[in-house]
Chain A
């Protein structure tokens, strides 16, 4: 079963706008990761945030983690058409060695 629920399920924006996706999970975690998937292909790792971190940046990506609320957000700034993809959060539960994926957010960035 999936641990993470992502919101929104789909997001449509214009190039240059920011995109924010949210992820909620149920159990205590070791870390939370975000992945991107282009149209039925393999997933690409974007960023990892550990349970003792609150915010992390990588290029145009900003991830926050609130362990008290069991939630995370992914912000993509100045979106480009090439950012069009599905984005998944995935958690590693404390004491476990496997990723549990969320339901994903489909992002469409129009030129």
Chain B
């Protein structure tokens, strides 16, 4: 099976703009999670989608949003970008309906906000 893919791999945006990142999970995986990784805060959970519904949400402001489509592909959107949003954004998919919640990660999208 093909792994989790994320597009684009690299992105440079200006403060105040918005950005949309895309994630295609492994075929058959219905759960998609998003994480933000920064040197200062480490790996932080953003949200998780399962069957087009947001099932879990982390402690991020409303500028961060996401959605999942019927084919399980997911997008996350960040509006009104801030310098602190510069990070590696990781998407992960899981085959589990319920635990133990082993996850398969994509290569990430490196977002730089200038």
**Complex contact B100–A98 (CB within 8 A):** no
Instruction: Choose, from A42-50, A60-68, A73-81, the stretch at the interface.
Output: A42-50
Report the count of interface residues on A (CB-CB < 8 A): 26
**Complex contact B42–A41 (CB within 8 A):** no
| Main SS at interface, chain B | strand
How many A-B pairs with Cβ below 8 Å?
67
**Chain B contact residues (Cβ within 8 angstroms of A): what range?**
20 to 34
Complex partner residue of B48 from A2, A44, A98, CB under 8 angstroms: A98
Which A71-109 residues have a C-beta within 8 angstroms of B? 88, 90, 92, 96-104
Query: Cβ of A1 < 8 Å from any Cβ of B?
Result: yes
Q: What 0/1 readout, one digit per residue, does chain B (50-71) give for beta carbons within 8 Å of chain A?
A: 0000011011000000000000
Bound Cα distance from A107 to B73, whole angstroms: 34
Contacts of A101 in B (CB 8 A): 35, 42-43, 45
Which B88-112 residues have a C-beta within 8 angstroms of A? 88, 90, 92, 98-108, 110
**Complex contact A31–B99 (CB within 8 A):** yes
Complex partner residue of B42 from A2, A43, A48, CB under 8 angstroms: A2
Query: Cβ of B33 < 8 Å from any Cβ of A?
Result: yes
| Main SS at interface, chain A | strand
Q: Closest CB-CB distance, A28 to chain B, in whole Å?
A: 13
Query: Cβ of A33 < 8 Å from any Cβ of B?
Result: yes
Bound Cα distance from A2 to B59, whole angstroms: 11
Bound Cα distance from A35 to B92, whole angstroms: 12
Contacts of A90 in B (CB 8 A): 43
Query: Cβ of A59 < 8 Å from any Cβ of B?
Result: no
Query: Cβ of B4 < 8 Å from any Cβ of A?
Result: yes
By a beta-carbon cutoff of 8 Å, the part of chain A in contact with chain B is 1-2, 30-31, 33, 35, 40-45, 48, 50, 88, 90, 92, 96-104
